[in-house]
Structure 1
Amino acid sequence: MFSNLLLLWSLSHALCITGLTYYAPKEQSWNNQNLSSVPLDLDVRLRGLDLSNNSIRQLHTLALPYLEQLDLSSNQLDLISEGAFENLARLEQLNLSRNGLNNNLGRNSKALLSLSRLKSLDISMNALGDDAVELYLRNKSSLDHLKMTGNALTRLSHDLFKESKALRTITIDDNLIAVIEQGTFEPLRRLETLDLAKNNLAHICDFKLHQVKYLNLSRNSVEFFVAREDDQLYRLEILDLSYNKLLYFPIVPKMNRLRYLYLQNNMVGALNSEATVVSEVNSLYNEIVSEKIARKNNLHLNWRLMPLIYIDLSYNHFRSFPLETLSLLSSLETLNLSYNCLQNIMWNIKNYSDSGHHRQLFFHSLKHLDLQSNGLAHISPLFLSALTQIETFNLQDNSVQPCSSTDHSTSSQSTQKMDLNTSCVAFGQLRTLKHLSLKENNIKVLQPNTFQRNALVSLNLAKNLHMEMHEGALDGVQTTLQSLIISEINMRSSRLSLPCMPALTHLNVSNNHLDMIPSSLGCSPLTELDLRNNVFMTLNQSLMQILSTHLTTTYISGNNYNCCDSGWLTTLNEMKIKVPDINETECFTRVRNFVMTDYLEKPLIYCLSPSKALEVNFGQMIIVLFVAVIFTVLIVFSRKLCCTQRPFIM
C-alpha cells in the first residue's frame, strides 16, 4: 500500500515539474501580521502577495518569478536592495504607498529600474519631492496607472513623464503643485484620467489636453480656466473645478464632449449681473490669447456647442439666474443652483426688437432643477414656462408661496401681468413635474386646486409651521401622488383633510398634533407610514387592518398610547409589519407607564376593570393563603418528627 502511494506521489511530482499540471496558488496575504521582514517560506509560484500594514523596513531579493501583484503599502520601508526586483519578471502591479521612500533615493530608484513591465505603480504618501519622483519613474515605458497622492511635489516638469508615455491614468492629488510646465502632459497620447485635486494651482490659461476624458482640478486656487479656440476635437467628458476661486464660467474648447461640469463652492456670480460676467470673461479670454480686437462672445459660442447634461453651481454667489448662458445648453438635464443668493428669478434678458414682447428662451432638456436654500420669494412665470421637460424641482428652504390654479389664467396677457404683480408661484404651469419639494418655505396657506394641472408623484411640505391646508388642496394630484410628507407643520386632526389617494405608498405625518388617522387613507396602498411624535392614544384598529394589506413598515414612537387599547398593535404583529422604533415607544395604564415591549410581555393584569381586578386579587390572596398553610403544616410536622428521634448510645 505504501509503495503504491509513493509511486502516485512521484508521478504527480513529475507531472508538476514538467508543467503538465500546474496548481499554483493565486494569492497569499500576510496583511497586518506585524512582520519586520518578508517571510522566507513563500511559495515560488505565487501570483499575488499582500504584505501591507506591517513593519518591514528593508526589502531584499524576492525570488518569485510568477508574481504579478505585490502590495507593500503601509510599512516602514526605506531601503530596497538594488536587486530586490530582478527576479520579478512578471510583476505588473506594485503598491509602495505609505512608506519612507524619500530616504535612500539612489539605491531605491535603482531597484525599481528593473521593473520595465510594470503597469501600475502607487508611490503615494512617501514625502517625495520633484527630483525623487523623476528618479522613480525612469524606465517605466509600460506604466499604465500612476498614483502619487500626498507627496511633496511643487512643480511638474516636461521631463517628468518622458519615459512613461503609455500612461492612461495619473493621480497627483494632495501635493503642493503650483506650476505645470508646458509639454508635461501633452505627449501622453493615451492619457485619459488626470487628477490634480488638492494642490496650489491658480490659473489654467491655455488648456490643450485633447486626449483627456476626466480632469479633476478641485480644491486648488484656480481663478479662471481658459482653453484657446482651435478646430481640434477635445475628448474631455468630465471637468471638476469645484472648491476653487473661480469668478467666471470656464471657457471650454469649442469642439468638446463635455457632459459633466462641477463648479460648486466657487465665487461665480459674485459680479452684479450675467451681462457683466459674460463681458468680463470674454475680456479675459482676449487678454490671454492676445486678441487685439474684441471678437465674438467666446463664452456663449463655445457653450452653445457643449453637450453638457449635468452642471453643479451650488454654493456660489449668484444673485440673478444666468438665464441666457444656461439656456444655451440644449442637452442639459440636471442643474444644481442650491445655496446661492437668488431672491427672485426675473426675466431679465435682452430683446432683439423694441416691440415690448419678452423674448422667450427654453430649457428643452432640463429635468432636474435644485434651487434649495436661496431665499427665493418670486419666480417669473416666463421662467416656469421655459421648463418644458421639468420632472424634479427642489425649492426647499426658500420663501415660495404657491398660487392656486384658479388665481391666475395662463393666457399670454395675464402672464405679463402675473410677472409684474404676483408674488406667488403658479406650479400649474409645470405639466411634466413629478417631484416637488416645498419643505421649509414658511407657506401660510395651501389653497384648493394648488396642483390642479400637475401629475405629482412626490410632494414634500414639511416644516411649513402653521401652514393652513384647505380642503381640496391636493385635488388634481390625488390619483398620481405616491409619496406625501406633511411633517412638522403643527397640524391637528380637525384641520387635516386628505382625499382618497389610490397610488399613495409613503406617508409621513410625524411631528404634528394628530390624534387620529384620516379614514380616507383606507383606499391607499401604503407600504410605509410615519406617525412619530404626535398625540395618538390609540390607532383605529379596523383602519390598520385595512392598511396592513400593503403596509411593510410603520414608525410609532413619541406618542402617548393607552396600553389597554392596543388591539391595533396586535394587528401589526400578526401581519408581521416592521415597527423599527417599538423599543422606544411608551404606553400608559392606570398603574404606570411602560415601554411598549415590556407591557406586551404581561399585558392582562394592568388592563382589567376594577371588579375583575378585585376578583383576580381575591383569588390570588386565597392561593397565597393556601400555600402558606401547607408550608406551615410541613414545618410543624418536620419538627415533631425530629423530636421523636433519640440518639443510639452503646
Structure 2
Amino acid sequence: MVSASRRLSGANIWISQFWKNQSLHSVPLDLDVRLRRLDLSNNFIRQLNTLVLPFLEQLDLSSNQLDLISEGAFENLAQLEELNLSRNMLNNNLGSNSKALQSISRLRNLDISMNSLSDDAAELYLQNKPSLNHLKMTGNSLTRLSHNLFKESKDLRTITIDGNLISVIEQGTFEPLLQLETLNLARNNLAHICDFKLYQVKYLNLSRNSVEFFVTHEDDRSYGLELLDLSFNKLLYFPIVPKMNRLKYLYLQNNMVGILNSEAEMVSGANSLYNDITNKRIVTKNYLHSIWRQMPVIYIDLSYNHFTSFPLETLSLVSSLVTLNFSHNCLDSENHRYLYFHSLKHLDLQSNGLVYVSPFFLNALTQIDELNLQDNSVQPCALVDHLGNSQSTQETNLNTSCVDLRLLRTLQHLNLKENNIKKLHANTFRGTSLVSLNLAGNSHMAMDVSTLEGVQNTLQSLIISEMNMTSSDLLLPCLPALTQLNVSNNQLDIIPSSLHCSPLREIDIKNNRFVSLNYSLIHTLSEHLNLIYVGGNSFNCCDSKWLKILNDSEVNLPDIGNTECFTEDSKNMMMMAEYLNSSAAYCLFHRKAQEVHFGQLLIIILFLFVILSAFIIFTRRLCSLHNFPRIRNDLLNNAIQHLLSVSV
C-alpha cells in the first residue's frame, strides 16, 4: 500500500510517495506530477520507461531487477538531484542505460553500487556529470581506476568505491578533484601507496586491502588529511605520512607492524624503503621520526599487530597523542628509558601476556586517565616501604614480579579483569585517583580488608564478578562515592552491610546464592537505587519483603521475570514474578499454619509442666511420711510413667 506525505508552506510544496516493498513489476501510472520524492525500492521492476515528473528531486529505484532504462527515461526530470540505482542489473544494456543517465546533468548524488559494473561501464555511467558531489560504487567489479573515470565530475566531494577488485590506480585519477574530501577504497586489492599526493583529501579509507607500505614524498605543501585508515592490511612499517598534515586519527590495527626483531630495525627499514622509492642513494635522515614528530595525531589503533616490545622511541614523538589502543600484541620485554607521554590519557594493553610493566614506563604516563590491562598476568605490588624512605620505594619499583599501580597518580579507570591475580594487598591503589575498578574474572583472588584504602572516597564503579567469592571473602569498607556495583557470578548470600553508606544507583547480584535480601539495607539503598539485577539466585518465594520495598521505590528489576524462587513445602522452583502475582493467599496460609503448629506445641508443653508440678508437690508430701517409703516410690514411678505415656 502506498504511503504519501505532503508539506505545504506558502509557495513551497513538498510531496512524497513511498512504494517500497509493494511487489511492483512496473512504475505506477498516474503519479502526481508535483512529486518531489519518489521511493520505488525493493520491488521487481525490470524496465524503466519515460517519467514525466518535472519537480522530482529524489528518486530511489534500489533493490529491483532493473536492467533496461529507455534512453529518454530521465529527460523530463529536470530537477532530479539524487538517484539511487543500487542493487540492480545495470551491467546489461550498457548502450541504452548509459545514454539515459547521461541525460541527467544536474545530479548531485548517485549510487550505482552492486550492479556488477566493469571499468568501462563505470566510465560510461559517469559521463556528463558536472554537478556530481557524492558518488557510491560499492560492490562492483572494477579492477582499475583510470584518469578518465572522473574527468567530467570535477566537483566530487565524496567517492566510495569499496568492495571492488581494484589493484591499479592511474596517476591523475583523483588529483584533479580539488573538492574531494572523503575517499573510501576499502576492501580492494591495492598492494602499496608509493606516493600519496591528494592534498585535498581529509578522510582516506584503505582498510582491508593488501597494502604493504604507505609512503609520501617529503614536500612543503600542506595536506588536509585528518583520518587515515590502513587497518587489515600487510603493513610491516609505520606509514610515512605527509610532512605538513592535519592527521588526528590513525588506524593501523590488524597488520604486521612489529614483526621485525626491534623498533630500531623497523625504523631503519622504513627509512630505507623511503629512500628506495624516492631514488635517494644515501640515507642521511630519519624521515619516519622527523615526520611523526610533527603529526597532530590524538588517536592511534595498533591492536592486533606483532609487537614484542613497546615502540617507545616512535610513539613518544607524538606529543598530542591522547588515546592509544595497543591491545592484542605480544609484549614481553621491559624498558628502562626515561621517555614521556605528556598527553596520553587512554591506554589499552589488553591481551598482551604482560607479567611486568616497568616503573619507568608507568612514570612516563604523566596524564594517564584510563588503563586497560585485561587478560594479562599482572600482579599488583604490595606496599613494602616500611622505612618510609625513597630507597625502599625504589626497591619496590624495581620488583619485576609485580606492577606498582600507585605510580599512576592521575589514573581514574583501571581494568584488571582476568589477570589471575592471587592477592590484593592493603593500599594497593593508594596514590591513584580511581573512579572505576574492574577486578572480574580473577577466580582465586583474595582481598585484604584495606585493599581499597586510599580510593574509598573516589571510587564510583566496582566490578568484582566471576571470582568464586563467598560472603566471608567480600571485605568492603564504607564507599561513600560508589554508585555502581557488580558482584555477579559469585557464591554470595549476603550483601555487605558496609554498603549502607554508598549512594548506589545500580547493583548486579545475579547468579549467586541469595535466598533473601536484608530488608533494612535494601530500604536504605532504595533511596538512590535505579536498577538491580537479581536473576540466577534461588529466593524464598514467601520471604519477599525486600522485593516489595524495591517495587514501592520503583526500582527497575529487568530480570525479575526470569528469576526463580522456592517454597518450603515444595522442592520445585517456579518463576518468582508469576508466583508473586497469585501467592498472597498461599503465603498467608503458610504462615498461619506455622503459627498454629507452634501454638499447639506450646499448649502441650504447658500441660505437661502443670501435671509434672502437681505430682512433684504430691510426692514431696509423701516424702514427709517415713512410714510409707514403698508406697511413695510406687506412686512416684507410676506418675512418671503416666506422664511419659501422655506426652507420647
Per the shorter chain, which TM-score range? Answer: 0.7 to 0.9
Residue equivalent to 1:271: 260
Displacement of 1:594 after TM fit?
Answer: 3.1
Displacement of 1:38 after TM fit?
Answer: 1.2
**In 1, distance between residues paired with 2:578 and 2:303?**
49
The alignment covers a number of residue pairs equal to 587
Displacement of 1:199 after TM fit?
Answer: 0.2
Residue by residue over 1:389-440, the C-alpha shift from the partner in whole angstroms, topping out at 9 and shown as x without a partner, is 1000000000000113445999876676556543211111111111000000
Cα gap change, 1:20/1:27 in structure 2, threshold over 3 Å: closer, same or farther?
Answer: closer
Question: Residue type of the partner of 1:342?
Answer: L
Whether the 8 Å CA contact 1:239–1:258 is kept in 2: the answer is yes
SS in 2 for 1:424: coil
For residue 174 of structure 1, the aligned residue among 163, 170, 178 is 163
**In 2, distance between residues paired with 1:408 and 1:379?**
23
**In 2, distance between residues paired with 1:137 and 1:529?**
58
Residue by residue over 1:480-524, the C-alpha shift from the partner in whole angstroms, topping out at 9 and shown as x without a partner, is 000000111111111221111111000011111212111110000
Whether the 8 Å CA contact 1:344–1:377 is kept in 2: the answer is no
Cα gap change, 1:457/1:409 in structure 2, threshold over 3 Å: closer, same or farther?
Answer: farther
Displacement of 1:188 after TM fit?
Answer: 0.5
Stretch moving more, 523-532 or 21-30: 21-30
Displacement of 1:564 after TM fit?
Answer: 3.3
Cα gap change, 1:30/1:613 in structure 2, threshold over 3 Å: closer, same or farther?
Answer: farther
Residue by residue over 1:53-77, the C-alpha shift from the partner in whole angstroms, topping out at 9 and shown as x without a partner, is 1111111111111111111111111
Cα gap change, 1:79/1:407 in structure 2, threshold over 3 Å: closer, same or farther?
Answer: farther
Residue equivalent to 2:362: 384
Whether the 8 Å CA contact 1:392–1:435 is kept in 2: the answer is yes
Matched, 1:504 2:485: no
SS in 1 for 2:462: strand
Residue by residue over 1:141-164, the C-alpha shift from the partner in whole angstroms, topping out at 9 and shown as x without a partner, is 111111000000000011111111
Whether the 8 Å CA contact 2:382–2:425 is kept in 1: the answer is yes
Displacement of 1:540 after TM fit?
Answer: 0.8
Cα gap change, 1:309/1:610 in structure 2, threshold over 3 Å: closer, same or farther?
Answer: same
What aligned pairs does 1:399-478 form with structure 2 within 5 A after superposition? 399-407=377-385, 417-418=395-396, 420-478=398-456
Displacement of 1:34 after TM fit?
Answer: 1.3
**In 1, distance between residues paired with 2:101 and 2:266?**
51
Matched, 1:63 2:52: yes
SS in 2 for 1:487: coil
**In 1, distance between residues paired with 2:125 and 2:578?**
67
With the length of structure 2 as denominator, give the TM-score of the two structures: 0.88
Residue by residue over 1:247-269, the C-alpha shift from the partner in whole angstroms, topping out at 9 and shown as x without a partner, is 11101011100000000111111
**In 2, distance between residues paired with 1:320 and 1:339?**
12
Cα gap change, 1:278/1:603 in structure 2, threshold over 3 Å: closer, same or farther?
Answer: same
Matched, 1:210 2:199: yes
Displacement of 1:539 after TM fit?
Answer: 1.1
Matched, 1:598 2:578: yes
Residue equivalent to 1:327: 316
Residue equivalent to 2:525: 547
Whether the 8 Å CA contact 1:408–1:418 is kept in 2: the answer is no
**In 2, distance between residues paired with 1:212 and 1:368?**
28
For residue 184 of structure 1, the aligned residue among 165, 169, 173 is 173
Any stretches of 5+ residues in structure 2 without a counterpart?
A: 1-7, 600-648
Displacement of 1:536 after TM fit?
Answer: 1.6
Residue by residue over 1:105-134, the C-alpha shift from the partner in whole angstroms, topping out at 9 and shown as x without a partner, is 111111111111111111101100000110
What aligned pairs does 1:128-207 form with structure 2 within 5 A after superposition? 128-207=117-196
Whether the 8 Å CA contact 2:397–2:404 is kept in 1: the answer is no
Whether the 8 Å CA contact 1:405–1:453 is kept in 2: the answer is no
Residue equivalent to 1:491: 469
Cα gap change, 1:613/1:422 in structure 2, threshold over 3 Å: closer, same or farther?
Answer: same
Residue equivalent to 1:42: 31
Whether the 8 Å CA contact 1:405–1:428 is kept in 2: the answer is no
SS in 1 for 2:260: coil
SS in 2 for 1:583: helix
Question: Residue type of the partner of 1:538?
Answer: S
SS in 1 for 2:472: helix
Residue equivalent to 2:116: 127
**In 1, distance between residues paired with 2:209 and 2:385?**
49
Whether the 8 Å CA contact 2:381–2:402 is kept in 1: the answer is yes
**In 2, distance between residues paired with 1:195 and 1:412?**
55
**In 2, distance between residues paired with 1:583 and 1:158?**
63
Residue equivalent to 1:84: 73
Residue equivalent to 1:310: 299
Whether the 8 Å CA contact 1:528–1:554 is kept in 2: the answer is yes
Question: Residue type of the partner of 1:383?
Answer: F
**In 2, distance between residues paired with 1:257 and 1:366?**
18
Residue by residue over 1:286-336, the C-alpha shift from the partner in whole angstroms, topping out at 9 and shown as x without a partner, is 111111111211110000000000000011111100001000010000000
With the length of structure 1 as denominator, give the TM-score of the two structures: 0.87
Residue equivalent to 1:286: 275
Question: Residue type of the partner of 2:536?
Answer: G
Whether the 8 Å CA contact 1:381–1:418 is kept in 2: the answer is no
SS in 2 for 1:577: coil
**In 2, distance between residues paired with 1:432 and 1:172?**
44
Displacement of 1:556 after TM fit?
Answer: 1.2
Whether the 8 Å CA contact 2:155–2:179 is kept in 1: the answer is yes
Stretch moving more, 186-195 or 529-538: 529-538
SS in 2 for 1:597: helix
Displacement of 1:385 after TM fit?
Answer: 0.5
**In 2, distance between residues paired with 1:418 and 1:273?**
29
What aligned pairs does 1:510-521 form with structure 2 within 5 A after superposition? 510-521=488-499
SS in 1 for 2:542: helix
Whether the 8 Å CA contact 1:406–1:449 is kept in 2: the answer is no
**In 2, distance between residues paired with 1:602 and 1:85?**
70
**In 2, distance between residues paired with 1:35 and 1:566?**
58
What aligned pairs does 1:560-571 form with structure 2 within 5 A after superposition? 560-571=538-549
Displacement of 1:610 after TM fit?
Answer: 4.2
For residue 290 of structure 2, the aligned residue among 301, 305, 309 is 301
Task: Report % sequence identity.
Answer: 69
**In 2, distance between residues paired with 1:31 and 1:411?**
76
Residue equivalent to 2:591: 608
Displacement of 1:22 after TM fit?
Answer: 4.5
Displacement of 1:344 after TM fit?
Answer: 3.8
Residue equivalent to 2:614: none
Residue equivalent to 2:514: 536
Question: Residue type of the partner of 1:547?
Answer: L
Question: Residue type of the partner of 1:584?
Answer: N
**In 1, distance between residues paired with 2:10 and 2:531?**
56
Residue equivalent to 1:632: none
**In 2, distance between residues paired with 1:23 and 1:432?**
57
SS in 1 for 2:38: strand
Stretch moving more, 166-175 or 44-53: 44-53
**In 2, distance between residues paired with 1:419 and 1:95?**
63
Question: Residue type of the partner of 1:215?
Answer: L
Question: Residue type of the partner of 1:521?
Answer: L
Residue by residue over 1:322-355, the C-alpha shift from the partner in whole angstroms, topping out at 9 and shown as x without a partner, is 00100001000000000111134423xxxxxxxx
**In 1, distance between residues paired with 2:565 and 2:596?**
20
SS in 2 for 1:383: helix
Whether the 8 Å CA contact 1:527–1:550 is kept in 2: the answer is yes
**In 2, distance between residues paired with 1:239 and 1:415?**
43
Any stretches of 5+ residues in structure 1 without a counterpart?
A: 1-18, 348-357, 617-650
